[in-house]
């Protein structure tokens, strides 16, 4: 499996200011009985987007959302905490997001996202505040240079695990790299049965 | 710098197949891979698409827990699945295990149960092992001095195909609980107090080791509860050094080493604990003696306070948002709030000792009229043991329901859920909005607090029921 290679993304943002947005919010457990990765986009943030009767909520940050122009989700601190469900990044990706930015992102969610072509990155508090305060702003993420440009004059560096970055830029998954270590794995098993 | 090593350092070193570099993470060997129906189907699909096999079926164990009904089968042997998809998910795991020769503790198997309950109870979970599962509460197994953490489905595929994961070594944190717990205070209260102290992201990026007098004094079940909740502080790994309590618990378990192998294992396990002077990237100390029975009052596990406290005034937008959802009256005792439902179960608190704790309080008493109370044992073995002690009769006589083993209302994907607006006191691990059903307001608590709250029909400090109430509490 592979996905589109990620290099430079220029797009508008959707902002969810709340802190501690857990993976149950991103995709409720009632949508987890699927045995597929596909088709989860329609269920992403379902209870945030729809009321009891299944009608779109007027207050939703997703109003006016256009997957062609809004590919970056900006969220409050500790985004993606809680459950390890990979359905969360699958759903965000299938909904149309290609990147998630926060001041800090939960470990398992970040790891899962980067393995699925969803760039999950953490920026400094000042840049984060600036992004939170300008929903819908068009920003640029340059993965190769590891820079988020909020505007021409406001740019910030971000860190990313180098191997995940390389895989994203090449659009390849990590299993191939892991499989290439099978000889070492076999040797390890012989040494330590 | 001292050469002293921590438990975590030792376990990490033992399992590195390929060292990490600036460019690539380490290849880390996995001794035990636990799988269940929710996070495995897409991983098996990847294997099948690529024509790969499960590399080590002998290191892979499957169970069914998340989507399975907790009501018994009907007269025709049919189970009441929440949806046809839930049934299909269960059937998919059965088929995948058959195709790949993976041992499945399936429906009707006396070894079936919640994945984090059966691993330890069967002796599959052992000191010194690396253990992963597509489930964030895999940290539970760290109670035995194992290096155990939750992974995503892509990584489940990695482990199925290679028996390894790609990981960078996390930072280390030691949480020391000084002193002894007061009577009536349990491991769940320790966990909630710790999370309240450091925050829901206080452990992010760290492997946690729990130590100190109060941790050493915990039973294995208590240690499992504590390690289980480490992910609610953001830490993927929670661990406790193995000791005599651990070895006592392990001995004679189905998959535990026997005979000479037991003696060899024991010698090895004794070498695992953190050495004096080992360095941690972060260390915090908590006064265990000051911990009181705890509950959560918000929508993140770090919004925790003593049961006897008053609902605090929100200070931030996030707290206001949580307060609006939870609807506790600001400045009033939590005990004012009427409880609609009580759930005793989950990988956090569904073991025999948890059920005993709840039964001690419910024995000879009645659940408050109108409070729906579900008691869901963590495994078939827990169910059998509880029934042998007639605990189920205590629960049934009190007016609670006694169910079949499974995750049940912790994740509420099997049909067991609260109704919108209900206040649920739950022994599970997450109070997220909608986690236990749309609009459900979840209050996390220990089994004792949950049982006392079921009896009173409001959030209740369990200590008077246990004869251990302190005047100043």
Model pLDDT for residues A45-100, shown as the tens digit of each residue: 999 999 988 999 988 888 878 889 999 999 999 999 999 999 999 999 999 999 99
Residue in chain A closest to B49 (alpha carbons) equals: A1
* Average pLDDT over chain A, rounded to an integer: 95
Q: Is the per-residue pLDDT at B320 higher than 50?
A: yes
Residues 112-141 of B with CB under 8 A from A: 134-136
Q: Is the per-residue pLDDT at A113 higher than 80?
A: yes
The token pair that represents B194 in the structure block: 């710790």
**DSSP strands (E only) in B85-239:** 103-105, 130-133, 147-150, 164-167, 171-178, 206-211, 237-239
Neighbours of A58 (CB within 10 A): 7
Q: Which of B468, B197, A111, B364 lies closest to B208, judged by CA?
A: B197
| pLDDT tens digits, one per residue of B420-468 | 999 999 999 999 999 999 999 999 999 999 999 999 999 999 999 997 6
Q: Is the per-residue pLDDT at A1 higher than 80?
A: no
pLDDT at B473: 39
Handedness of CA B227, B228, B231, B232 (dihedral sign): negative
Look up residue B431 and give its DSSP letter. Answer: -
Spell out the domains of chain B, with CATH numbers in brackets: 7-167 (3.30.499.10), 295-461 (3.30.499.10)
pLDDT-based confidence at residue A2 (cuts at 50, 70, 90): low
The token pair that represents B378 in the structure block: 């963590």
CB contact (8 A) between residue B24 and residue A108: no
Phi then psi dihedrals of residue B182, to 5 deg:
-75, 155
pLDDT at A192: 85
For chain B, give the percent of residues with pLDDT over 70: 99
SS3 A65: coil
The Cα of B450 is separated from the nearest Cα of chain A by a number of Å equal to: 22
Rounded Cα–Cα distance for residues B170 and A152 (Å): 36
Q: Is the per-residue pLDDT at B469 higher than 60?
A: no
CB contact (8 A) between residue A173 and residue B154: yes
pLDDT at A193: 67
Burial class from Cβ neighbours inside 10 Å (0-12, 13-18, 19+) for residue B275 reads middle
Chain B residues with beta carbon closer than 8 angstroms to that of A25: 432-434
| pLDDT tens digits, one per residue of B434-446 | 999 999 999 999 9
Domain definitions of chain A by residue range: 8-191
The Cα of B32 is separated from the nearest Cα of chain A by a number of Å equal to: 13
Q: Is the per-residue pLDDT at B470 higher than 90?
A: no
Rounded Cα–Cα distance for residues B392 and B402 (Å): 6
CB contact (8 A) between residue A162 and residue B200: no
* Average pLDDT over chain B, rounded to an integer: 97
Q: Across residues B98-117, what is the average pLDDT?
A: 98
**Domain A8-191 maps to which CATH number in 3.30.830.10, 3.40.50.300, 3.20.19.10, 3.30.465.10?**
3.20.19.10
- Residue in the structure block whose two tokens are 């329901």: B401
pLDDT-based confidence at residue B235 (cuts at 50, 70, 90): very high
pLDDT at B471: 40
| pLDDT tens digits, one per residue of B142-165 | 999 999 999 999 999 999 999 999
């Amino acid at each position: 499996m592979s996905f589109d290679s990620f290099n430079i993304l220029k797009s508008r943002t959707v902002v969810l200011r709340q802190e501690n947005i857990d993976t149950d919010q991103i995709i409720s457990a009632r949508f987890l009985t699927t045995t597929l990765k596909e088709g989860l986009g329609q269920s992403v943030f379902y209870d945030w987007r729809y009321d009891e009767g299944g009608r779109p909520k007027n207050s939703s940050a997703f109003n006016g959302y256009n997957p062609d122009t809004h590919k970056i989700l900006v969220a409050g601190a500790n985004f993606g905490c809680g459950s390890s469900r990979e359905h969360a990044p699958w759903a965000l990706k299938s909904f149309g997001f290609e990147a998630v930015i926060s001041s800090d992102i939960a470990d398992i969610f970040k790891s899962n996202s980067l393995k699925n072509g969803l760039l999950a990155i953490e920026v400094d508090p000042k840049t984060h505040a600036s992004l939170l305060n300008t929903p819908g702003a068009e920003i640029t993420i340059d993965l190769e240079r590891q820079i988020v440009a909020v505007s021409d004059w406001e740019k910030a560096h971000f860190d990313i695990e180098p191997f995940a970055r390389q895989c994203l830029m090449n659009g390849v998954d990590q299993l191939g790299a892991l499989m290439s270590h099978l000889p070492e794995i076999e040797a390890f098993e012989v040494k330590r049965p | 710098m001292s050469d002293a090593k921590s438990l975590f350092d030792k376990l990490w070193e033992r399992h590195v197949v390929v060292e990490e570099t600036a460019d690539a993470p380490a290849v880390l060997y996995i001794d035990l891979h636990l799988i269940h129906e929710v996070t495995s189907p897409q991983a098996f699909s990847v294997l099948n698409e690529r024509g790969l096999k499960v590399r080590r079926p002998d290191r892979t164990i499957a169970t069914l827990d998340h989507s399975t009904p907790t009501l018994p089968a009907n007269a025709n042997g049919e189970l009441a699945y929440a949806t046809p998809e839930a049934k299909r998910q269960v059937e998919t795991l059965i088929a995948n295990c058959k195709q790949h020769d993976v041992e499945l503790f399936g429906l009707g198997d006396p070894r079936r149960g919640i994945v984090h309950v059966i691993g330890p109870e069967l002796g599959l979970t052992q000191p010194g092992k690396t253990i992963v599962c597509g489930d964030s509460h895999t940290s539970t197994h760290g109670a035995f001095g194992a290096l155990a953490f939750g992974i995503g489905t892509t990584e489940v595929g990695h482990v199925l195909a290679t028996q390894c994961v790609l990981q960078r070594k996390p930072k280390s944190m030691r949480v020391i609980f000084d002193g002894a717990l007061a009577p009536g205070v349990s491991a769940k209260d320790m966990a909630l107090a710790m999370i309240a102290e450091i925050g829901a992201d206080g452990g992010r990026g760290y492997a946690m080791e729990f130590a100190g007098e109060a941790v050493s004094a915990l039973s294995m079940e208590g240690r499992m509860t504590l390690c289980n909740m480490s992910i609610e502080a953001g830490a993927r790994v929670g661990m406790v050094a193995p000791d005599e309590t651990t070895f006592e618990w392990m001995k004679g378990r189905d998959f535990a080493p026997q005979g000479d192998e037991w003696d060899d294992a024991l010698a090895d396990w004794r070498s695992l604990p953190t050495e004096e002077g080992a360095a941690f990237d972060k260390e915090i100390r908590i006064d265990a003696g000051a911990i009181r029975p705890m509950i959560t009052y918000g929508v993140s596990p770090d919004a925790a306070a003593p049961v006897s406290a008053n609902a605090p005034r929100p200070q931030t937008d996030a707290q206001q948002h949580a307060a609006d959802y939870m609807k506790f009256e600001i400045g009033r005792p939590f005990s004012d709030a009427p409880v609609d439902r009580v759930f005793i179960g989950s990988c956090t608190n569904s073991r025999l000792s948890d059920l005993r704790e709840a039964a001690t309080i419910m024995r000879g008493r009645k659940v408050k009229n109108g409070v729906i109370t579900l008691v869901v044992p963590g495994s078939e073995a827990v169910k059998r043991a509880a029934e042998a002690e007639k605990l189920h009769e205590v629960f049934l006589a009190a007016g609670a329901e006694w169910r079949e083993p499974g995750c049940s209302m912790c994740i509420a994907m099997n049909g067991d859920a609260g109704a919108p607006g209900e206040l649920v006191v739950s022994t599970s691990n997450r109070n997220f909005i909608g986690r236990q059903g749309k609009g459900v307001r979840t209050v996390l608590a220990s089994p004792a607090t949950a049982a006392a709250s079921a009896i009173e029909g409001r959030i209740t400090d369990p200590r008077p029921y246990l004869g251990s109430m302190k005047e100043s509490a």
